[in-house]
Structure 1
Amino acid sequence: MDHPESLAEHRGGTHPPALTTPPATVPAPRPGHREGRGARAAWRAVRPSERLCHGTGAVLTLSGLAHLVVFAVDGGPWDGPVSWRKPVTFGLSFGLTLIALTWVTSYLRVGARLRTALLVVFAADCVVEVGGITLQAWRRVPSHLNMETAFDTAVSMTLAVGGGVLVVLLTVFAVASFRNRPAGPTGMPLAVRSGFAILLVALLSGAAMIARGVVLTRTGHQEAAYHSTAPLKPLHGVSLHAVLVLPALAGLLSRTSWSGRTRLRIMYAAVGCWSAAVLGAAAWAVLTW
């Protein structure tokens, strides 16, 4: 016969206390841990070709900044065909443009393979252009329109051919932006199309500078060739970076709480101001040509 106390325990009257396992302690995430993990995930999602272009653009930009330090230490003229200004401005310009175009072209409705191929060729061309200009700056000789020796001629012609490649590549991107409406938030299609349209002005002015300089060089006016580009430089510089600034402005406006109509008005005003600056630089080029 079972003992009364044993029966009571068996029927539920009295039970020994249950053993409970304390919950596992989960460490609180460190500040910025989630943000850092999200940033790494976003970076891994970027295409390898885009990483290549971003990295190349960063190196070219750093090269321009480094030569600004060289200029501060070594001195010399800022203007003229032989100056540290050229590796500084070309390094910064090509580096920032490469980074910007890698981002801006993501809004274009073009095939992924075509975009990748164009960006990789564009990055390689940027390296060639900045590399040739930097090399000649360290050799203390002009980079463009320099036919003094066989080596200088080879460098000058390489830069000219590279400029032609840039014209073709960027024209393809520009045509794609007008052929199909770019994607993106309110104002981005306007910014991308306007940026590429103004960039075409920079390409045409750059081609005009090279063509005029080559003609003067071939006819024996070497010194005049070096100074012949001065009237078109403001136009070339003003119209070169609209494709960077206008889409960046559209991206910043998309992060505000303003209405789409307000953001679009601001973008139209920005495009109008930039176009006015381009027209002013073009008028200056015509008057001083």
Structure 2
Amino acid sequence: MNRALWWAGWVLLAAIVVHVVALVATGGAVTGPVSLRKPATFAETSWLLCWSVGLALPWLRLGRVRRRLVVASVLAFGIGETTIMAVQAWRGVPSHYNFTTPFDAVLMRAGAGGLAFVLLAGLVVLLTGTRGSTAPPSVLLGVRAGVGVLLVGCLVGFVMISNMSGVFQGAFASGFAEPQVGYLGPAAATVGREYLLLRPHTHGGDLVLLHAVGVHGMVLLTLPALGLARAGVPERTRLRLVATMTVLVVAGLAGLAVAAFGQRPWDSLPAVAVAGLAVLALGYVATLARSVVRVRQTG
């Protein structure tokens, strides 16, 4: 089953290259609701998720049935979501919050609802594999923390879908109160000027960056833990490095959540808050760099 995750990862990596080349060749929009960037970014997230889960599974205690459930859920989400994003981008219509036609509505509900819940169930099953596992504590911490952060990212995504907007304005599930007809996404004035994942001038709290960091939880925490273990770095050192990265990522995620759910646009945050988030990010990068150095020294 792991082989399927590796092959899917290669396919998704190819999808990234194809869409980036197409985006450059066509000179299309990089931001906004309609862009070839969207299938590229979803393919990137799914590619890394497939390989992260593929590397983590051998360390976990999962029977054949649960292992297959995890693999199937990751494949369904990764391939399915990327396909939906690609179909809508090449059609030139929004992939999110779009109910303009019955076909658009089916893709929206299947991707944002069905496939997301499938992944959520698979991640919960994946976590059960850490119980009774003989993996070192650093590996178990990396898996649990990485999947936990990923689950937070998924929950933030559900908030976005429930409001039909990546800009939080103090309500939950407000998008379900209106007829699901046409494009229900936020107005350009609500989003403000975009710089890829950075949207400093939103009219409310920005959930997109919080979501983006969260869905890379296994990349940020699980992969470093596995890399340190495979290199044979002493367990005490591994546990210290993984724990430090976990604290930094969770603290950074909490800071982003406070700003987003407090409806505070980036351009309204005090300088000390922005500096604090920057310090956490730099601290993570520095700890990751130390981990790479230890791996190279041990190897």
* TM-score, with structure 2 as normaliser: 0.72
Q: Which residue number corresponds to residue 33 of structure 1?
A: none
- Residue 139 of structure 1 deviates from its aligned partner by 0.3
Q: Which residue number corresponds to residue 219 of structure 2?
A: 244
Q: Determine the C-alpha separation between the residues in 1 that align with 2:121 and 2:228.
A: 31
Is contact 1:145-1:210 (8 Å) kept?
A: yes
Other structure's SS at 2:84 match: helix
Q: Which residue number corresponds to residue 37 of structure 1?
A: none
1:264 paired to 2:201: no
Q: Which residue number corresponds to residue 203 of structure 1?
A: 154
- Residue 198 of structure 1 deviates from its aligned partner by 1.0
Q: Tell me which moved more, 103-112 or 211-220.
A: 211-220
Bigger Rg over Cα: 1
Q: Determine the C-alpha separation between the residues in 1 that align with 2:110 and 2:238.
A: 43
Q: Determine the C-alpha separation between the residues in 2 that align with 1:119 and 1:66.
A: 25
Q: Which residue number corresponds to residue 96 of structure 1?
A: 48
What is the correspondence of 1:84-233 to structure 2 with a 5 Å cutoff? Answer: 84-160=36-112, 161-174=114-127, 176-177=128-129, 180-185=131-136, 187-213=138-164, 215-216=174-175, 219=178, 225-226=185-186, 231-233=206-208
Q: Which residue number corresponds to residue 57 of structure 1?
A: 9
Q: Determine the C-alpha separation between the residues in 2 that align with 1:77 and 1:237.
A: 20
- List alignment gaps of at least 5 residues for structure 1: 1-48
- Residue 143 of structure 1 deviates from its aligned partner by 0.9
Other structure's SS at 2:98 match: coil
- List alignment gaps of at least 5 residues for structure 2: 165-172, 192-198, 200-205, 265-299
Determine what percentage of the aligned residue pairs are the same residue.
30
Q: Determine the C-alpha separation between the residues in 2 that align with 1:91 and 1:84.
A: 11
Q: Tell me which moved more, 261-270 or 201-210.
A: 261-270
Which structure ranks higher in relative contact order (CA pairs < 8 Å, sequence separation ≥ 6)? Answer: 2
Q: Tell me which moved more, 117-126 or 214-223.
A: 214-223
Q: Determine the C-alpha separation between the residues in 2 that align with 1:285 and 1:150.
A: 32
Equivalenced residues, count: 239
Q: Tell me which moved more, 118-127 or 52-61.
A: 118-127
* TM-score, with structure 1 as normaliser: 0.75
Is contact 2:96-2:108 (8 Å) kept?
A: yes
1:70 paired to 2:22: yes
Amino acid at match of 1:204: L
